[in-house]
Structure formats: structure tokens, C-alpha cells
Amino acid sequence: MRASLKAAAGAAAVAVLLAACGSSGSPTPSGGASGGGSVDQVKVGVIPIVDVAPIYLGAKKGFFDKRNIKVSMESGQGGAAIVPGVASGQFQFGFSNVTSLIIAKSKNLPIKVVAAGNSSTGVDGKDFSAIVVKADSPIQSAKDLAGKTVSINTLKNIGDTTVRQSVQKAGGDPSSVKFVELAFPDMPAAVKEGRVDAAWVVEPFVTIAKQQGDRVIASNLVDTFPKLQISTYFTSEQTAKSNPDLVKRFTEAMNESLTYAQEHPDEARDILSSYTKIDPSVAKEMTLPLWEPGVNKESLQKLADLAAQEKLIDNKLDVNQLLN
């Protein structure tokens, strides 16, 4: 399983390349289906991670069916498949990490955000994302990461950006932190064996790290912005312009799915077994992300500003360009 937030790893490279070249609910759609009541077949590019539980749960509960949408999810390995897949029409919608979408938009990829994905809980020490160290590590806070090596899943993306925010907030020197790229599943072992001083992990690896005795020293997403929205669902500009009714109905279905998942966490945990290999005992213990409907423009702008500050994009980006 690919871990959380690698929703569009490599999107910057993709953008450069492209720049160069359930049970049924009520049958009445809220927005009215296109084609006089016909059902729209919709493919959504997702990653098999905790973050996308609401769309699977919503499909099972019939939230898309009652809006005349037959939704199917296709797993991708990250933005290298999903972002250009949406832009080219292979997928009608996709799921991505916000920073990667910002990078893609800065390269003029024709994409538009249409619905929320997931957010930080906003609770320090009780988030689905954390910076962890060995139990006997001398590192006591993010300030102590100055001059140390921290593993992240993708360099020059949301990981190093938010870890630096934790270091800065704690009074350390964020510019002196050394980052190495590792896959999330490999991080607990790297911490245990001392190959890195600390690791940025997300669920289920936060729980796995805790189970092996590691300590949480900071909640990097919480330190960056209150309830930081770190992912969204998006479509192509072509789909947004040519079929606004479909986009409207998809957004409504996603909003209902997000609300339901947030209000029924046990069902959200249970649905994970249908598309991930997360051990049920781990799924029961881990901290779930926050699933709220509505795109938080202020949160997205914070990530856009940090992307410019970190030189991930050439110029500042007004996120209104990204919103549908």
C-alpha cells in the first residue's frame, strides 16, 4: 500500500512533461443527470490509502447512485498517473495531495479542484500525521531536528515543507534539516535501525511506529495550519466546462460521503479492508484524518505560499486559479 499524502508524487515532473507536449438510494438525482436521466459512468483515479475511505463508503451507501452517477475507482501509484490521467480524460475525476496540484497548476496543467479530500485533525499529538523518533533518541522536540536527518516520502513536496514549519515553530533552524526520501512502509524500520534520526509518517504507519515504541515529537500538519487540508478531488478544465452538471452532482455526492465518513468512523475503518491491506487491529487503533465537505481556500493558499517560499513553484499562485 502506498501511504498517505503521496497522492501526486512526481506531479511537478509530470507537469513539465505535459507542458512540453453499494446499495441504491433514491433514484432522483439532486442536480438532474445529463442525457435525460441517463446514468453517467465515472472513473476516479485514487490511491489505496486511508484518505480516500469516504469515496468507497459513499459508493457503498449509494450516494453517487442516487445522483445518477455510476462511480468506479481505479488505483494509481500517484500523481504521475492520476494528474495526467485526469487532464487527458482517462479519469473524469482524481484524488491528489494539494501541494502537487499547486505545482501542476503552476505548470499550466488544465485542472480544477471540485471537492475536499481530507484534512489534519488540528489536534497536536493526536493527528494522522506525525514526526517520530526512537524511544531512546535525544531528540525531544522539532527544534532538535536542526542538523538531523529526517525521512519523507517525496522530496520537495508537502512533507519537507510542513516538517520545516514544525522546526521553525519550535525555535529551530529549518534550513539545516537534512531530508532523505523513503517509502512510508520502510520508515518505521529506518527509525528503529538508526538509519534516520526521525521520520515523517502518516497512518497506518504512525500507529505501527508507536507499536514498536517510537515517540511522536511533533504534528507537522497541525503546526502548519489549523486543520490543514492536504488533499482534494479534482477534474479537468474540459470536464468542468463541458459537463458542469456532472461536476455539481459529483461534488454533492462527495460532500455527502465526507460527512457520512466523519460521522461514522467505525464504518470508515471497516471499508479500508475492501481496498487496502491495513491490518484490522491497526485500523482499529489508528487516528483517522478529518473528513469535512467544502474546500478550505485559506488552507490551500497557505500551501501555495509555502510552495513559493520553498521554491517548489517559480511564482506565487492565487489558488482561485485552481478552484472550479
Which domains are assigned to the chain?
A: 11-120+227-321 (3.40.190.10), 129-224 (3.40.190.10)
Q: In which residue are the cell numbers 522539532 written?
A: 142
Q: Give the whole-angstrom CA distance, residue 242 versus residue 185.
A: 41
Residue 80 pLDDT class (50, 70, 90 cuts): low
Mean pLDDT of 13-39: 42
Average of per-residue pLDDT across 288-309: 97
pLDDT of residue 76: 79
Residues 158-202: tens digit of each pLDDT:
999 999 999 999 999 999 999 999 999 999 999 999 999 999 999
| pLDDT at residue 133 in the model | 98
- Taking the CA atoms of residue 195, residue 199, residue 201 and residue 205 in that order, the dihedral angle to the nearest 10 degrees is 40
pLDDT at 115 over 80: yes
Q: d(Cα 72, Cα 308) in Å, to the nearest integer?
A: 35
The answer on pLDDT for 28 being more than 90 is: no
Q: What average pLDDT does the segment 127-141 reach?
A: 97
Q: Provide the percentage of residues in the chain whose pLDDT is more than 90.
A: 85
| Average pLDDT over the chain, rounded to an integer | 89
Model pTM score: 0.86
Residue with cell 481556500: 297
Average pLDDT of the residues in 93-107: 95
Phi, psi of 198 (to 5 degrees): -155, 165
